[in-house]
Amino acid sequence: MEFRKLRLSGFKSFVEPAELRIEPGLTGVVGPNGCGKSNLLEAIRWVMGENSPKSMRSGGMEDVIFAGTTARPPRDFAEVQLHATDDKGEPLEVTRRIERGAGSAYRLNGDDVRAKDVGLIFADAATGAHSPALVSQGKIAQVIAAKPVERRMMLEEAAGIAGLHVRRRDAESKLRSTEKNLERLEDLMASQD
């Protein structure tokens, strides 16, 4: 998967709609302290489904919405759109939008989808919100200090198998409900004997 373009509106310090083209090769973001460099990386993580306010340096998820300044009122929503191409070169457009009091909604190529669907697409491409490909400040020290189980999770993300855990949980839950249905069927058949 290749990222091509990032669009932000109302996300953290990016109050006005902003567009960032991501060219092939290495991309560097430079600028003075506090200009929003880390916010860009967080926007990429957020559109891929990040749901931990802590990893967004926020108290709650709505804190990603532009909070206003003395000169500008706060915004009611934040939206981030990531344009990418999948491994077959097909275009992929993922949008996440959050509105105050209404939570997040996701779109994939214009269609409404669940957070889980978006998470699986990126996890299968080995580039999810927790991917080791996104190296934020302090991350290297975190990798060194990580517990073995945390390190294993990083390796699984890198190997593109993190989505298998979600599918396994889904399959187990389907299996349990099918087992319950079978028990119920046996009860019904026994009561008719």
Q: By CB under 6 A, name the binding residues for ligand ATP.
A: 12-13, 31, 33-39, 63, 65-67
Q: How far is the CB of 91 from ligand ATP (least distance, A)?
A: 28
Q: How far is the CB of 147 from ligand ATP (least distance, A)?
A: 27
**Any idea how long the chain is?**
193
Looking at the Cβ atoms of 37 and 116, the one nearer to ligand ATP is: 37
DSSP label at residue 12: T
Tell me if 132 sits within 8 A of 123, measured CB to CB. no
Q: How far is the CB of 138 from ligand ATP (least distance, A)?
A: 10
In angstroms, the CA 86 to CA 26 distance is: 18
Looking at the Cβ atoms of 57 and 114, the one nearer to ligand ATP is: 57
DSSP 3-state of 104: strand
Q: Binding site membership for ATP: which residues?
A: 32-39
Nearest to 123 by CA among 80, 166, 79, 81: 166
Q: How far is the CB of 33 from ligand ATP (least distance, A)?
A: 4
Q: State how far the alpha carbon of 153 is from the alpha carbons of 49, 63, 77, 117, 159, in Å.
A: 17, 27, 32, 20, 10
Q: How far is the CB of 8 from ligand ATP (least distance, A)?
A: 12
Which element (helix H / strand E) includes 176?
helix 162-192
DSSP label at residue 150: H
